[in-house]
Amino acid sequence: MADPRAFHLVTRLIDGGATNALLPIATEVEGYDVTVGYGAEFDRHNVAALREAGVRTERFPLMRHYNPVTAVGAVVRVARYVRRGDFDVVHTHSTEAGIIGRAAARLAGTPNVVHTIHGVPFTDDRNVALNRFVERCEVAVAPWTDVMVSIADVITGEYLDRGIGVPDQYETVHYGIDLDTFRQADPADDLPGSGDRILMVARLAEGKGFDVLFDAVERLDRDLSVLIAGDGPLREDLERDVAARGLDDTVHLLGYRDDIPSVMAGSDLLVLPSFREGTPFVIVEAMASGLPVVATDVAGIPELVEDGTTGYLVPPGDDAELAANVADLLDDDERRRTFGRNGSDRADHFRTERMVDDYRAIYDELTGR
């Protein structure tokens, strides 16, 4: 008997949490014939990785990040593709693909629909009308979903508080990574600057709190090297901001790096001052690398970082608290090492194999395997 056919749909196949989770789910869940659909934005190396693993891919250019104008056309296009493919499971990832894909699956008559919530899209730094619109869309498509997978219990709670779905629809599946890659990495030998190394790994886009980090750095009177690994649409704006603040010798924009394990091995701690997140892969990666973490107390981050044990949690936008906690860790070598050891132990729960097994169990139950 042929393997059940599974269709994944993600808004943007770009480096980040949703794609980092999708790749192992699509390539390592055994017993399913998999196709991955993605929208207008993508990174070529992610498409190549899927194809090299034998996964079919299909691009849907009308599916764009927060573009309701093209959304209706995208629903029609995806529905036609899903109907022709006769898929047994449609699994959507991220907000736009979740709304478009579930509407398309409904039109196509797909028997089993899964949606993974990779982060909370309703945040204070976004337009109130946009938040309300997205919330109403989520409420509308929730009844067309068999399983809503949340990456953190707190995210499930927020969605239910907003009237999105019912408790029986939800399952929590935490992210997973290849821990050994980070635990065994040698330090990168080309990292700029001197003194204590503070690392931030993030897409250079809105909502990550770069201005908060820069404000915190200006409060820290010490020899620092602040490394920001990642690329994105804010690159030129951040370069101008760094220059205007006179931080050229302190803040270094590394661009895209394919050796993050080695960059982490050469750093002293990780910061993540984001205003919105899910349960960021980068925090688990940092913990696996033995780095303490200073991050904002938003979404699923408190389910990763134990405040005062593996790192510190700070309110979003609070540069003074961010600076104070960074200084606390840099001033106390023993505490920094203890937090790092605690984080490494905590990271054991977040193995790729566990995440893959959890998703396979969901698919098997839906398809009766």
What's the mean pLDDT in 86-111?
A: 97
163 and 140 within one domain:
yes
pLDDT band at 250 (very low <50, low <70, confident <90, very high): very high
- Structural domain span for residue 361: 5-176+351-367
The CA angle 346-350-351, to the nearest 5 degrees, is 125
Is 115 in contact with 11 (CB distance < 8 Å)?
no
294 and 271 within one domain:
yes
**Is residue 139 predicted with pLDDT exceeding 80?**
yes
184 and 164 within one domain:
no
78 and 34 within one domain:
yes
Closest CA to 175 of 59, 336, 299, 313: 299
156 and 11 within one domain:
yes
148 and 218 within one domain:
no
pLDDT band at 315 (very low <50, low <70, confident <90, very high): very high
Q: How many CB atoms lie within 10 A of CB 70?
A: 18
Q: pLDDT, tens digit, for every residue of 269-302? A: 999 999 887 778 899 999 999 999 999 998 788 9
214 and 336 within one domain:
yes
223 and 143 within one domain:
no
184 and 172 within one domain:
no
**What CATH number has the domain bearing residue 203?**
3.40.50.2000
Number of domains comprising the chain: 2
What's the mean pLDDT in 208-224?
A: 94
Per-residue confidence (pLDDT) for residue 16, from 0 to 100: 80
49 and 114 within one domain:
yes
Residue with tokens 């770069």: 210
115 and 31 within one domain:
yes
165 and 24 within one domain:
yes
Q: pLDDT, tens digit, for every residue of 79-93? A: 999 999 999 999 999
